[in-house]
Every structure is written in C-alpha cells, then in structure tokens.
Amino acid sequence: MAYIGTAPADAALTSADISDGIITAPKIATDAVETVKVKDLNVTTGKLAADAVTNAKTEFTPGLTIKGDGSSADGKITLNCSQNSHGVSIQGPPHSAGQSYTLTLPQSITNNYYLKTDGSGNLSFAAIEESALPTPTIASISPSTIDNTASTVVITGTNFGSTGTPYVDLISSAGAITAASSVTRDSTTQITITTTLAVDTTYFIRIELASGLAVRSSTALLTVSDAPAWVTASGNIGSSPGGEAVNVTVSATSATSYAKTVGSFPGGVTLNTSTGVISGTESGASSATTYSFTIRATDAEGQTADRAFSYDITFGLTQGMAFV
C-alpha cells in the first residue's frame, strides 16, 4: 500500500522501495505518482496486477477511476463491514447506458430532498414531489376586521413549513391582489403579517410556501373598514329646564348602533340605540345639574368609537321658588 503523510521528496522510486509493500512519503517525488494500475486487489493477499485503478494522482490532482474489466463487469467501489461479510457498493453505469453520472453530496442538509432507490439498488438524491408534501391550511385570522392604516394580522393554520419565508397575498372580493408588506413565519402553525389596505371591502387570504405549495381561503376572512367617525362634537350638547322634554341626537358616520358606556342621563331620559336620539321628560332633579356620559358608536364590522358628552338641566327663578 502507499502511505503518504509528509511533503514529497525529489527522489524517484526504486523496486527496493516497494519490496516490503510500504511506500513512505519521502520516497515519492513531486507529482511522481500519476498513474497507479491495480488489478485483482485483495486485502488479504495484497496481490496487485494491471488495469483496475487508473489516474490516482496522489495528493496533487484529485480523482480516482475504477475501471471495468473491458468485458461485462463495471467499475465498482465496495465498503465492507468489519468482518467483510457484506458492504455497500458504488458501481458505474453499464456500457449500454452510453453516458456518465456524477453523484455529488450536498454541502449541507437540504430540506425536502432524499436519497431514493429505483428498486434495483441504484441511489440518487431527489426532491420530494409536491404531491407528497402536506398541503397548508388556513384555520382563522386575528383580528378579522382592520381599518385602512398599517395593521398586524395573525394567521393560524397547519403545515406552514419549517424553512423559508412564505408569500401572503390579500385578494379583494373584486379580485385585486395586494401582497403583505411583511411576513413572519412564527411556526408551522402560525404566520404574522403586516398590511395596509386602502379599499374598504372583504379579502381572501392566499399563502404560498417556499416549496411552492399554496392555499387560498375558501371564504373572505378579512374585512377592511374605517371605524365610525363622530359627527357630533364632544362636550356639551344642550340644556333644558327641569321637568321639561329633552331631545338631542348624536351621530357618527357608518354607525349602526349606539350605547352609553360611562356616566348617566337626566332622570326620565333614554338613548335610542339605533338612531342616537337622546330623549325623554326630565324628572328627579331639584337644582341645576350637569350630566356627563360617554356614547360608543359601533359599525357593521364591529369597530367602535367613543365620545364624551354632557347635558345641562337648568332651574330658573320660577322653578326654584314661588312668589305670594
């Protein structure tokens, strides 16, 4: 065998150098071993003959060719077990194939690739077919309603992949497509996006993974709508004498309902939750009183806007005393 471990010397090999079967590094001249021919290599007997191994240019030019026998046996490298009872072989293609192949190992582990066999012991690296990969699904999003400003939406589902950044598109009910401005794959079951959508409408969600697999929601999951905008100015909205009728209206654009969330109305006064009308005949006050309260406007998409108001109940001389 040839043992190479130090820098080559400039002395050519002689028959005496290889008589014991060991060639030491100092006995190999620079670029001296260009062709080594081996036939009938047997680890136990050490017999060597011609034409099995060529182009083993040791330490200088990488490359090793295992030749066939010139008849029917193809070149083959076999790695045996410790007892030499079985092993793994890499064998060249048959002459009838008419072409050569190179099996290159990946520099790093690559997702979705595997070493496959054709059923006859031949191995090759291949990408998993898309049909064999689990298809992503969309379960829900939160929030489901946003306004026209930059918003963050969390999408939950399954099979969102383990590598790469997905593409996420928002598709309006009219078919317009807007790509999410940023996408973060939090896990295989969650994706977080940020988006700004100027058009108030409903949107479908489409996710495409780095593998090319994609899913589009079967229904429009996201609603874009401006929150109600108050028309009535905050602060005092009116006054009336004690015991008299109260009738004022508060309003906000796109509001479908109103509710008092904080404070109180004058006695006998209520809010129409559909129209925003505050009305009734005041009762219970015995002196001038200011009533403060907050009204919440809600639109059809569940978005809300709050505003604080006040209303005065007054008492004049004729209400506060009697002259006799």
Per-residue pLDDT of 102-160, as tens digits, reads 666 666 666 667 677 766 666 677 666 655 678 999 999 999 999 889 999 999 999 99
Cα 57 from chain centroid?
49
CB 311 within 8 A of CB 291: yes
Q: Using CA atoms, how far apart are residues 110 and 115, in angstroms rounded to an integer? A: 11
Amino acid code (one letter) for 133: L
pLDDT digits (tens, 9 = 90+) for 198-234: 998 999 999 999 888 999 999 999 999 888 999 999 9
The answer for residues whose C-beta is within 8 angstroms of residue 44's C-beta and 6 or more apart is none
Q: Using CA atoms, how far apart are residues 47 and 110, in angstroms rounded to an integer? A: 42
pLDDT digits (tens, 9 = 90+) for 41-90: 343 333 333 444 444 444 445 567 778 877 878 888 888 888 888 888 88
pLDDT digits (tens, 9 = 90+) for 231-289: 999 999 999 999 999 999 999 998 999 999 999 999 999 999 999 999 999 999 999 99
Amino acid code (one letter) for 250: V
What domains can be seen in the chain, in order of their start residue? 137-224 (2.60.40.10), 229-320 (2.60.40.10)
pLDDT digits (tens, 9 = 90+) for 16-26: 655 555 555 55
Q: Using CA atoms, how far apart are residues 76 and 67, in angstroms rounded to an integer? A: 8
What does pTM read for this prediction?
Answer: 0.48
Cα 281 from chain centroid?
60
93: cis peptide before it, omega within 30°?
no
CB 75 within 8 A of CB 69: no
